[in-house]
Amino acid sequence: MTTSPQSTALTIMVIDDSSTIRRSAEIFLNQAGYQVVLADDGFDALAKINDHHPALVFCDILMPRLDGYQTCALIKKSALFRATPVLMLSSKDGLFDRARGAMVGASAYLTKPFTKDSLLAAVREHAMSQA
């Protein structure tokens, strides 16, 4: 019996209040062999991150209750997750948004709607350094 590639696959967290974005990211990442943890907002993500220890986090910016900047800042304040790359997801592509993401510790900024190729390229660029 062979071991499943999922057993050694990197775990990636996707935080987005849009079920369409979460589902798209989940499909793309699962097809590439990654384990995926979904969260529908920052509070949900913070509740799940300790259980799953993702190698990388994709985080939407515009979310109810706790926005992406606040979520990223809280993840980065944790000694356990300080080194975990957080990539911001947004439909806004302005310089101010990118700068604000960098200020809270985001590793990169991905514009929505993303393609499968751009999502996987971001994972390869940022998560492999954690592997």
Is a pLDDT exceeding 70 seen at residue 55? yes
Task: Write down the pTM of the prediction.
Answer: 0.90
Higher pLDDT, residue 68 or 97: 68
Question: Tell me, what DSSP letter sits at residue 93?
Answer: -
> Which CATH number describes the domain made up of 11-127?
3.40.50.2300
- The structural domains of the chain, with segments of one domain joined by +, span 11-127
Model confidence at 69, in pLDDT bands (50, 70, 90)?
very high
